[in-house]
Amino acid sequence: MLELTPKKYKERQALRINPAKTCQPVGAMYAALGIRQCMPHSHGSQGCCSYHRTFLTRHFKEPVIATTSSFTEGASVFGGGSNLKTAVKNIFEIYKPRVIAVHTTCLSETIGDDIPTIIGQLENVPEGKFVIHTNTPSYVGSHITGYSNMVKSMISYFSKNTGQPNGKICVISGFVNPGDMKEIKRILKIMNIDFIMFPDTSGVLDSPMTGNFEMYPKGGTTVEEIQDAGNCSDVLGLGAAAASAGVRQLNKKCKVKEHILELPIGIEATDAFISKLSEISGKDVPEEIETERGQLVDIMIDAHPYYDKKTAAIYGDPDTVLGLAEFCFSLGMQPKYLITGTPDPSFETKGKELFDKFGAKDGFVKHAADLFELHQRLKNDKVDLLIGGTHGKQIARAENIPFLRMGFPILDRYVHPYMPMVGYRGAMRILELMLNVLMDKREADTADEDFELVM
């Protein structure tokens, strides 16, 4: 399908082909689903909302709820204020959420709708219920920007420092699956740390089949918890691109001490996460966590011959790509290309630091890039493994490269939303999946006379 992609690369400024990102509201919608009993609301036309819901549903394999201001030609000319007011009244009456989290779209941003003023004029917000908003023009940033903006808005609207410390640590989760959020909470519980984490989509987008439809499953962070986040001693952001805006806002608004870490993907970043938790809480690392780390190291050593010195191209969201790259390097692999579609110059700085740290001389790192460019570069200098979301599958097929689906979005496989890639257990899972694709390829390329039961 992509065999005709030309080898010769030309610098492009105004055109993206097969972008390694999606639009801001997708991230804002996902973050909003991490609040308990929250209805994400798309202030724009129905098409945007349908696209964003479909995108998330395809990745999470769950029905993703959201409402829309349903712009028509009239709203496009005169503004969407009356649509939003009618929508809020209807949503509270019909769907009965605790929170409506409004995000904008390209159209409402281009018109210039003043959402805070419109929200201030709302007359139908029931007692104890809330309407919050964030601006998510999709011609800026990516879904990661939208996620980050919505998290920051949660803090701006809800978090308060009441002067009564709650003895808890606040964790702002990066743009990861419900399985990752569950794993982060499991680690915090094993370490016996009192915490507030948001957004938290575990229990929302990984809910079980019960035979009954629940519009608001039991998961998600409550409004009261987000309010109380302002009374935490420290806030940890997991993933600079997705979480740092929220961390800084909590520090600025409530004077909570800030710490921004990389997403705990792989052994080094998880070590840093566990060490930071231990340092802040003053608690020792429990044996259970040390055992998991030891198991990971054991697997890394056992399987070493199959991944050692393998080259890789990794694309996707900035925090995920950097985490996966560091893990690959620490395994003895050689990541060559690091690509994100999200505009984020610090991604290039950090990528270069990683190449320097592990002595990789010919590494290529680029933000605001696309998969067409990655494909062209791979045509000139192939790798042993391609790692990223589903949009790279045609490249893997055209170039006959083993393909590890990891990150967002994964549209053509199942189970991934439930499983972690963070923590030591997440690293074990990455390793298992990676070894499977590498060893499958090796077997497929092996002649009959050399095809053994044990490789």
Binding residues for ligand SF4, rule: CB under 6 A, are 23, 25, 44, 48, 51, 105-106, 138
The least CB distance from residue 454 to ligand SF4, in Å, is 50
Q: Give 143 or 377: the residue with its C-beta nearer to ligand SF4.
A: 143
Q: Which is nearer to ligand SF4, 108 or 201 (CB)?
A: 108
Contact call for residues 333 and 343 (beta carbons, < 8 A): no
- Cβ closer to ligand SF4: 74 or 332? 74
β-partners of residue 154 are: none
Smaller CB distance to ligand SF4: residue 24 or 159? 24
> Which of residues 21 and 377 has its CB atom nearest to ligand SF4 in the complex?
21
Whose Cβ is closer to ligand SF4: residue 25's or residue 363's?
A: 25
Write the burial class of residue 382 (CB in 10 Å: 0-12 exposed, 13-18 middle, 19+ buried).
middle
Measured from the CB of residue 278, what is the shortest distance to ligand SF4 in angstroms? 42
Q: Tell the smallest beta-carbon distance from residue 140 to ligand SF4 (Å).
A: 10
Rounded Cα distance, 391 and 381, in Å: 20
To the nearest whole angstrom, how small is the minimum distance from the Cβ of residue 408 to ligand SF4? 16
- Nearer to ligand SF4 by Cβ, of 106 and 427: the residue is 106
**Residues 182, 186, 192: CA angle, nearest 5 degrees:** 145
Residues 6+ apart with CB under 8 A from 312: 328, 333, 334, 335, 336, 337, 383, 384, 385, 386, 387
> 3-class DSSP state for residue 337?
strand
Give the integer Cα–Cα distance in Å for 421 and 430.
6
Residue type, 434: M
CB of 106 to ligand SF4, least distance (A): 3
The dihedral sign for the CA sequence 52, 54, 60, 64: positive
Residue type, 172: I
Smallest gap, in angstroms, from Cβ of residue 109 to ligand SF4? 8
Two tokens, residue 46:
């129905």
Residue number, 111 or 236, with CB nearest to ligand SF4? 111
> Residue 396: how many CA atoms within 13 Å on its side-chain side?
22
Cα–Cα distance measured from residue 104 to residue 119, given in angstroms and rounded to the nearest whole number: 13
Comparing CB distances to ligand SF4, the nearer of 26 and 172 is 26
Collapse the DSSP code of 146 into the 3-class scheme (helix H, G, I; strand E, B; otherwise coil) and give the result: helix
CA distance readout (Å), 440 to 77, 96, 173, 261, 434: 56, 50, 34, 35, 10
Min separation Cβ 148 and ligand SF4, Å: 16
Q: How far is the CB of 177 from ligand SF4 (least distance, A)?
A: 22
From the centroid of its chain, how far is CA 82?
33
Least distance (Å) between residue 52 CB and ligand SF4: 7
